[in-house]
């Protein structure tokens, strides 16, 4: 019988069964590395701004004054590491013992150059306090200014180049020079309490922060809430950023917010507001054509275009305003006015005896307030009319003479009563409506008692006041029955000993007039809203006349690159225009028909239709 | 099989040892498996069932393996797709998050990485799924690896994966089984570089394969159990089906065996109309035909033998009468003419022949009828041989043949019928003398414990090839033309063969042309014993010597 060899048949069977049993066909326990494909390409590193603003200990060499000035710039930048940077100026032992009492940076302005005495290690500093800068970029004006004298001991160490701080006050000090050189002003916005417009809130962004991180920082500022002095709507408590805001790519800025960033009800309206707020706050970082992608929860919306711009009332400010002068008791257009139409609102027969005036427009209405003088008595008359038409003037009673320059705070766009007027009368602040009625006094809670000037920001929610020749800022709350001021904060513009007049030259800048500290000559200067910075290169020519009685400035649009070009003031019964030089506004600047013969008079007041 | 010569000696030695061991093992195996192999050889059912089991295990095993492999592959691929997609999202997110850091020395970078990892882990909607998200920065040693949950990822993320991802900047994955929080878990680890403005960091995303692994295990177990059940079922079915076929075949085999044993009336049972029934019917038909033929042939044979016997008997009576008359004539022949006297002599001789022929025929018919009986007694064979030689000495002398006897000195006692043995020897020696051609005839006898052998050798014309058997046929003659010259009846060797067979012995012939012939009679010492060997060779020794 033939023997069969079963080996070849059995072998695969056994192999298959063993494979099944031992699980060779399951998911393996270990595998080698399987390459799927190439990874994403690496981006290109952008050079940060950090390098150029940072000062180092050795930069000053052995110049003690310069060394101290540099030392006062060292805190600029990220607040968490500010103390570390200041320690870099100190010897190791001193650095170890340097424990700042506050985490915030104290911004100071040197009143005089650091005083270096030969043969003495101590450098004397005399400064006044400008405010404290917190980690949200908020500069809170100081309540007490000084001047304060402080001492910093500076000496050299054997074997080491340069100088070292060997003794210093335990404070994070930053000079205003350092603030200006190491920070960018960055305006963020909050909705006003009526949600009718955005209110700016000026912050300081360290230049060392890479541009990619700035959106994240700004949104965290927004989440932290507005500056305490503002009366605005805060964002929801749940508002917050998820992750960071990635750098702009493909012309898109993507922001991912928590789902709690929007209220449960009316979320669409709230989102619309939020995106406008964000767009305005991020505007300097957002190229015009860029798209903002807002992702809240699972909802992603993209926003492009410039339709958000209208949510900021200051955006309505034009480059070329309508400009008026008061000549012979009549309001007339200036030849530089944008329009040649008749004077708005006022009927020609009522255009007389005018001393001071203010006009504002909302979207549909124009409001006028004129201060007339008959004899020694001042009277305030107001009118409101749809833009392009006229209305009779109505008298506001209850105001003691003398009256200051009136001003309008537009609160509503589509209402004849959508504005609140403010005026100083005999050292007090009064408010009035757009119609006939009694002016109401607004109580003043700050120091001082004689209010001589008031200016309203383009957003209508902030005011600047001059009280006892000192400058204050406060929030204007128009929500209640009567307008009220928030807690006023004094701001101290550099180099001015007194302030006599104030106006907003943009949403974040003030133009103030007053005598200079050093030579007591009157000047008009732009300062930041907190008074820390001043516009040194745009210093107006010094006045040769008397003190400035009133200041009219047409604020610059926030999208404009430069400041306001429309600055006028009244002094010594004459009106002056400040452009590149100061020039008196003569009769040749009057537009329209002239009475014949021309009275031997000059324009006394000039103002803009705001 | 030998190892090739070109292999070095030690290798060949090892191979040799291995070969030997293998042989030993194979031998053992062969012994152990002998019963199995026997049943394999003998049982069709075992073969069919075994082959079915083997073939079905092969098929089911292959399919099962394929299904299990495929399903595991599908599960794994699905997991890979999901993880890959998730990884892409994560990488995109992490990459976006890192765009805020233009420089690697940014002090905020570790915080961003930590937040990103947290967010990526939270964004996974994971409760306790066991995923691990980790960001490492291999190129920036000052940046600590961040993992959520904070587990040791050194085992999870292998250096090879790090090399592929961090070193070569590739997206890669690997399956790792590591212990995390005291539990052994199988992870699918994906790694991808995350581009940033300062270079790249690496994101690793590890997802446990517990679900997939369990599913694959279940599928495998199911396939295994199903496969085994299927194989067993197939085996049972094959066994049953084979049994259905084998049982009737076995019955047929048994019936055929009985039939061949002579039970001619055995028949198969015919059930139904299928192929097996057809086989049974055909078998029965064949058996019936065979039976009929056999009965008919037996009948014919019986008739023939009886006819021979009857004829022999019937002829004997007239022959006796004729013999008496012939004897009378023969005794009076001297008184006749020489020619008549010659005829009387011829008549006498032919009557002798006729009588011998009848005697032989009667003897043959006695054998055929089975009446031949052995009258055994203990007999010394030597005298018998001597007596036969003496009796034939005259004849030998006449034809010039010398009879040589080579007999043992001692008596050779065997239990035989002396009359029959003598007849056989007389026949053999007579034949040898007749065909001896005047050359010597040698009669040799030898014995051992069991048998006695007597050979008769002549050196006559011998036998042609094939005639060794024919010589025992009835009436056979090597040369028919010589039939009348020699006086044999043609039945002598047939009767001798029958006599030998009756003793349980052998009668064999050898012959070669020109070399003469030798006949050997071998008989058992004890009656009824079975012969195994003969004490003398059939082929004569002298002939062997001549050849060599």
- pLDDT(B483) > 60: no
B97 vs A29, A31, A246: nearest CB: A246
Among the four given CATH numbers 3.90.79.10, 3.30.450.20, 3.90.1300.10, 3.30.1490.190, the one describing domain B70-216: 3.30.450.20
Task: Tell if the CB–CB gap between A210 and B103 is shorter than 8 Å.
Answer: yes
In contact, A229 and A238? CB cutoff 8 Å: no
Query: What is the token pair recorded at A325?
Result: 């002068």
At residue A540, does pLDDT exceed 60?
A: no
- Segment among A3-12, A177-186, A549-558, B115-124 with least mean pLDDT: A3-12
Predicted pLDDT of residue A50: 45
How far apart, in whole angstroms, are the C-alpha atoms of residue A78 and residue A75? 8
Residues 6+ apart with CB under 8 A from A154: A64, A67, A68, A121, A122, A123, A163, A164, A165, A166
CB A564 within 8 A of CB A546: no
Interface of A with B in 15-74 (CB under 8 A): 16-17, 19-21, 23, 25-48, 50
For tokens 């994240």, the residue is: A216
**pLDDT for res A3:** 43
Asked if residue B312 has pLDDT above 90, the reply is no
Q: In this structure, is the dihedral angle defined by the CA atoms of residues B375, B377, B381 and B384, taken in order, positive or negative?
A: negative
Question: What is the reported pLDDT for B144?
Answer: 83
Strands A365-374 and A354-361: antiparallel
Query: What pLDDT is attached to residue B5?
Result: 79
Q: How many CA atoms lie within 13 A of B7 on its CB side?
A: 11
With cut-offs at 50, 70 and 90, classify the pLDDT of residue A46.
low
Cβ partners under 8 Å of residue A308, min gap 6:
A275, A276, A279, A280
List B residues 145-164 in contact with A (Cβ-Cβ < 8 A).
158, 160-161, 163-164
Name the pLDDT band for B424 (thresholds 50, 70, 90): very high
**Close Cβ partners of B130 (under 8 Å, ≥ 6 residues apart):** B180, B185, B207, B208, B210
Segments of chain B assigned to CATH 3.30.450.20: 70-216
Tokens matching residue B378: 């203990």
B524: pLDDT strictly greater than 90? yes
Q: Do B168 and A35 touch (CB under 8 A)?
A: yes
Going through B326-468 in order, the beta strands assigned E by DSSP cover: 377-380, 403-406, 413-416, 441-447, 451-458
Q: In the predicted model, what is the mean pLDDT of residues B314-321?
A: 87
Task: Give the distance from residue A341's alpha carbon to the nearest chain B alpha carbon, in angstroms.
Answer: 53
Q: Which of residues 43-82 of B touch A (CB under 8 A)?
A: 54, 57-58, 61-62, 64-65, 68-69, 72, 75-76
User: CATH class for domain B377-547?
Assistant: alpha beta
Is it the case that residue B546 has pLDDT exceeding 60? Answer: no
Residues sharing a CB contact under 8 Å with residue B441, sequence separation 6 or more, in sequence order: B396, B401, B402, B403, B404, B429, B432, B433, B456, B457, B458, B459
B548 pLDDT above the threshold of 50: no
Where are the CATH 3.30.565.10 domain residues in chain B? Answer: 377-547
Per-residue pLDDT at B2 exceeds 50: yes
User: Where does residue A340 rank: exposed (0-12), middle (13-18), buried (19+ CB within 10 A)?
Assistant: exposed
Q: What's the CA gap between B227 and A393, in Å, rounded? A: 104
Give CA–CA dist B190/B171, Å, rounded: 7
SS3 B247: helix
Residue A135 CA: distances (Å) to CA of A30, A188, A215, A509, B247: 50, 15, 15, 22, 101
Q: What DSSP state is assigned to residue B150? A: -
Tell me the Cα Rg of chain B.
Answer: 52
Q: Are strands B403-406 and B441-447 parallel, antiparallel or unpaired?
A: parallel
pLDDT band, residue A545 (cuts 50/70/90): low
Q: Which residues of B touch A38 (CB under 8 A)?
A: 169-171
Write out the DSSP string of A315-349: GG--SS--EEEEETTEEEEBTT-S--SPPSBS-GG
Average pLDDT over residues A159-173: 82
Taking residues B81-91, report their average pLDDT: 88
In this structure, are residues A450 and A468 in contact, taking their beta carbons and an 8 Å threshold? Answer: yes
Q: Is A234 exposed, middle or buried (0-12, 13-18, 19+ CB in 10 A)?
A: middle
Task: Measure CB to CB from residue A39 to each of B57, B192, B217 and give the nearest one.
Answer: B192
Chain A nearest-CA distance from B267, in A, is: 30
Q: Which residue has the higher pLDDT, B509 or B264?
A: B509
List C-alpha distances in Å: A11 to A6, B33, B59.
9, 18, 13
Say how far residue B412 (Cα) sits from the centre of its chain: 46
Tell me which residue in A16, A28, A210 faces B175 most closely, judged by beta carbons: A28
Q: What is the pLDDT of residue B290?
A: 87
Please give the average per-residue pLDDT across B324-345, as a whole number: 88
Phi, psi angle pair for A217, to nearest 5°:
-65, -45
Strands of the sheet with A566-571, listed across from one edge = A548-554, A566-571, A574-578, A582-584
**Nearest CB partner across the interface for B119, out of A19, A212, A243:** A243
Of A309, A201, A313, A317, give the one whose Cα is nearest residue A565: A317
Q: Show the domains of chain A with their CATH numbers.
A: 50-182 (3.10.450), 183-313 (no CATH), 314-608 (2.120.10.30)
Residue B493 in tokens: 């060797």
* Residue A539, CB-side half-sphere exposure with 13 Å CA sphere: 17
* Percent of chain B clearing pLDDT 70 (strictly above): 95
What pLDDT, on a 0 to 100 scale, did the predictor assign at position A32? 86
Among A11-25, A140-154, A193-207, name the most confident range.
A193-207
Tell me the C-alpha distance between A597 and A158, whole Å.
84
Contacts of B7 by beta carbon, 8 Å cutoff, 6+ apart:
B15
Kindly list the residues from chain B whose CB atom is less than 8 angstroms away from the CB atom of residue A240: none
Is the pLDDT reported for residue B66 higher than 50?
A: yes
Q: Which comes out higher in pLDDT, residue B159 or A159?
A: B159
Q: Using CA atoms, how far apart are residues A530 and A130, in angstroms rounded to an integer? A: 8
pLDDT at B520 over 90: yes
Tokens of B470: 């024919």
Q: Which residue has the tokens 């067993």?
A: B232
* The token pair that represents A93 in the structure block: 């032992």
Element (H, E) at A116: strand A115-116
Beta strands at A105-110 and A173-175: parallel, antiparallel or unpaired: parallel
pLDDT tens-digit series, residues A362-403: 888 889 899 888 888 888 888 888 888 888 888 888 888 888
B369-402 confidence digits (pLDDT tens):
777 888 889 999 999 999 999 998 888 888 888 9
Of B95, B197, B212, the CB nearest to A40: B95
Count of alpha carbons within 13 angstroms of residue B496, beta-carbon side:
27
- What pLDDT, in 10s, does the model give residues B197-231? 888 888 998 888 888 888 888 988 898 899 889 98
Of the pLDDT bands very low, low, confident and very high (cuts 50, 70, 90), residue A21 is low
A11: nearest CA partner in chain B = B58
DSSP string, A32-98: --EEEEEPPPP-PPPPPSHHHH---GGGGTT-HHHHHHHHTTTT-S-GGGHHHHHHTTB-HHHHHH-
At residue A190, the pLDDT reads: 92
- What sign has the CA pseudo-torsion A428, A433, A437, A440? negative
Instruction: Please state at what angle helix B9-32 crosses helix B34-42, rounded to 10 degrees.
Output: 60
Is the bond preceding B113 in cis, omega lying within 30 degrees of 0? no
Write the pLDDT tens digit of every residue in A68-108.
888 888 888 888 888 888 888 888 888 888 888 888 888 88
Q: Mean pLDDT over all residues of chain A?
A: 82
Residue A1 pLDDT: 38
Residue entry with tokens 């100081």 = A142
Instruction: In whole angstroms, give the CA distance from residue A174 to residue A532.
Output: 11
**For chain B, what is the mean pLDDT?**
86
Q: Which residues pair with A420 in a beta bridge?
A: A409
* Residues B165/A39, Cβ–Cβ less than 8 Å: yes
Phi, psi of B333 (to 5 degrees): -70, -25
Q: What average pLDDT does the segment A409-413 reach?
A: 85
Q: How confident is the model at residue B456 (pLDDT cuts 50, 70, 90)?
A: very high
Q: What percentage of chain A exceeds 90 in pLDDT? A: 4
Q: Which residues of B touch A298 (CB under 8 A)?
A: none
At residue A378, φ and ψ (nearest 5 deg) are: -95, 145
CB atoms within 10 A of CB B55: 15
Whole-number Å distance between alpha carbons of A434 and A385: 10
Q: Which residues of A touch B171 (CB under 8 A)?
A: 35-39
What is the DSSP annotation of A546-562?
Answer: S-EEEEEEEPPPTTSSS
The 3-state DSSP class for residue B389 equals: helix
């Amino acid at each position: 019988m033939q023997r069969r060899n079963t080996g070849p048949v059995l072998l695969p069977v056994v192999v298959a069964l063993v494979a099944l049993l031992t699980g060779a066909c399951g998911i393996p326990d270990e595998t080698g590395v399987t390459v799927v494909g190439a990874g994403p390409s690496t981006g290109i590193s952008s050079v940060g701004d950090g390098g150029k603003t940072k000062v180092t200990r050795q930069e000053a060499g052995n110049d003690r004054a310069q060394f101290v000035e540099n030392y006062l710039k060292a805190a600029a930048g990220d607040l968490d590491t500010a103390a570390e940077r200041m320690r870099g100026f100190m010897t190791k032992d001193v650095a170890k013992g340097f424990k700042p009492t506050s985490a915030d940076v104290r911004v100071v302005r040197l009143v005089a150059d650091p005083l270096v005495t030969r043969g003495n290690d101590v450098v004397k500093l005399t400064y006044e306090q400008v405010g404290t800068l917190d980690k949200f970029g908020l500069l809170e004006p100081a309540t007490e200014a000084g001047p304060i004298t402080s001492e910093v001991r500076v000496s050299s160490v054997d074997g080491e180049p340069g100088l070292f701080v060997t003794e210093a006050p335990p404070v994070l000090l930053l000079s205003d020079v350092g603030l200006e050189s190491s920070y960018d002003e960055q305006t963020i916005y909050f909705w006003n309490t009526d949600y009718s417009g955005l209110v700016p809130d000026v912050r300081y962004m360290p230049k060392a922060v890479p541009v990619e991180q700035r959106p994240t920082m700004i949104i965290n500022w927004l989440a932290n809430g507005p500056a305490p002095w503002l009366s605005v709507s805060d964002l929801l408590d749940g508002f917050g950023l998820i992750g960071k805001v990635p750098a702009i790519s493909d012309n898109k800025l993507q922001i991912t917010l928590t789902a709690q960033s929007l209220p449960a009800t009316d979320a669409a309206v709230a989102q619309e507001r939020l995106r406008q707020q964000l767009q305005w706050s991020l505007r300097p970082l957002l190229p015009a054509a860029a798209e903002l992608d807002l992702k809240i929860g699972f909802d992603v919306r993209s926003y492009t275009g410039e339709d958000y711009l209208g949510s900021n009332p200051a955006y309505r400010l034009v480059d070329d305003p309508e400009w008026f002068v008061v000549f012979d008791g009549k309001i007339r257009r200036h030849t530089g006015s944008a329009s040649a139409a008749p004077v708005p609102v006022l009927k020609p027969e009522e255009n007389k005896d005018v001393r001071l005036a203010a006009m504002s427009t909302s979207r549909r209405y124009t409001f006028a307030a004129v201060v007339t003088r008959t004899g020694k008595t001042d009277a305030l008359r107001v009118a409101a009319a749809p833009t392009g038409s006229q209305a009779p003037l109505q008298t506001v009673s209850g105001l003691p003479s003398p009256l200051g320059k009136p001003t309008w705070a537009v609160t509503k766009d589509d209402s004849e009563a959508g504005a609140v007027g403010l005026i100083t009368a005999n050292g007090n602040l009064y408010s009035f409506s757009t119609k006939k009625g009694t002016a109401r006094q607004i109580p003043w809670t700050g120091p001082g008692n004689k209010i001589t000037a008031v200016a309203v920001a383009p957003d209508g929610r902030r005011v600047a006041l001059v009280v006892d020749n000192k400058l204050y800022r406060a929030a204007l709350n128009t929500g209640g029955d009567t307008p009220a001021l928030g807690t006023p904060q004094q701001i101290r513009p550099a180099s001015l000993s007194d302030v006599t007049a104030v106006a907003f030259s943009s949403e974040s800048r003030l133009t103030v007039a007053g005598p200079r500290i050093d030579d007591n000559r009157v000047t008009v200067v732009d300062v930041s809203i907190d008074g820390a910075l001043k516009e040194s290169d745009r210093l107006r020519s010094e006045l040769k006349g008397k003190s400035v009685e009133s200041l009219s400035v047409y604020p610059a649009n926030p999208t404009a690159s430069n400041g306001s070009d429309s600055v006028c003031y009244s002094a010594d019964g004459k009106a002056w225009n400040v452009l590149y030089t100061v020039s008196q506004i003569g009769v040749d600047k009057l537009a329209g028909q002239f009475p014949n013969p021309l009275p031997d008079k000059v324009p006394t007041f000039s103002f803009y239709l705001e | 099989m030998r190892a090739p010569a070109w292999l070095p000696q030690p290798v060949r030695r090892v191979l040799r040892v291995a070969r030997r061991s293998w042989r030993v093992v194979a031998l053992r195996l062969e012994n152990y498996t002998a019963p199995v192999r026997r049943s394999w050889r003998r049982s069709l059912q075992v073969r069919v069932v075994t082959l079915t089991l083997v073939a079905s295990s092969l098929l089911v095993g292959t399919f099962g393996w394929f299904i299990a492999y495929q399903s595991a592959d599908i599960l794994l691929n699905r997991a890979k797709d999901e993880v890959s997609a998730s990884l892409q999202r994560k990488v995109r997110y992490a990459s976006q998050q890192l765009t805020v850091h233009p420089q690697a020395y940014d002090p905020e970078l570790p915080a961003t990485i930590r937040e990103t990892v947290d967010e990526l882990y939270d964004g996974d909607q994971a409760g306790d799924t066991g995923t691990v998200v980790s960001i490492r920065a291999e190129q920036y040693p000052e940046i600590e690896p961040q993992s959520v949950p904070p587990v040791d990822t050194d085992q999870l993320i292998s250096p090879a994966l790090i090399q592929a991802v961090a070193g070569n900047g590739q997206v890669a994955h690997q399956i790792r089984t590591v212990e995390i929080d005291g539990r052994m878990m199988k992870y699918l680890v994906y790694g991808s570089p995350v581009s940033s403005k300062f270079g790249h960091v690496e994101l690793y995303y590890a997802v446990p394969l517990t679900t997939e692994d369990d599913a694959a295990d279940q599928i495998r177990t199911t396939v295994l159990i199903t496969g085994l059940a299927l194989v067993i079922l197939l085996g049972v079915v094959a066994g049953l089906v084979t049994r259905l076929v084998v049982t009737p075949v076995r019955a047929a085999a048994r019936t055929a065996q009985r039939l061949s044993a002579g039970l001619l009336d055995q028949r198969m049972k015919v059930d139904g109309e299928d192929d097996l029934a057809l086989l049974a019917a055909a078998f029965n038909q064949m058996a019936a035909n065979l039976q009929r033929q056999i009965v008919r042939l037996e009948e014919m044979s019986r008739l023939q033998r009886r006819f021979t016997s009857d004829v022999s008997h019937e002829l004997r009576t007239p022959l006796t009468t004729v013999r008496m008359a012939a004897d009378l004539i023969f005794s009076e022949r001297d008184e006749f003419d020489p020619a008549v006297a010659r005829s009387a002599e011829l008549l006498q001789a032919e009557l002798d022949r006729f009588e011998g022929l009848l005697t032989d025929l009667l003897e043959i018919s006695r054998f055929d009828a089975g009446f031949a009986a052995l009258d055994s007694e203990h007999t010394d064979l030597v005298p018998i041989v001597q007596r036969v030689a003496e009796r034939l000495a005259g004849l030998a002398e006449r034809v010039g043949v010398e009879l040589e006897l080579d007999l043992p000195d001692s008596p050779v006692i065997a239990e035989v019928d002396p009359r029959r043995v003598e007849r056989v020897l007389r026949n053999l020696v007579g034949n040898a003398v007749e065909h001896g051609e005047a050359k010597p005839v040698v009669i040799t006898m030898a014995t051992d414990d069991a048998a006695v052998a007597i050979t008769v050798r002549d050196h006559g014309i011998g036998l042609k090839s094939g005639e060794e058997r024919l010589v025992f046929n009835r009436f056979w003659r090597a040369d028919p033309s010589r039939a009348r010259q020699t006086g044999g009846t043609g039945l002598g060797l047939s009767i001798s063969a029958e006599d030998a067979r009756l003793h349980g012995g052998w009668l064999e012939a050898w012959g070669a042309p020109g070399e003469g012939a030798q006949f050997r009679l071998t008989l058992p010492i004890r009656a009824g014993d079975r012969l195994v060997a003969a004490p003398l060779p059939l082929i004569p020794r002298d002939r062997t010597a001549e050849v060599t």
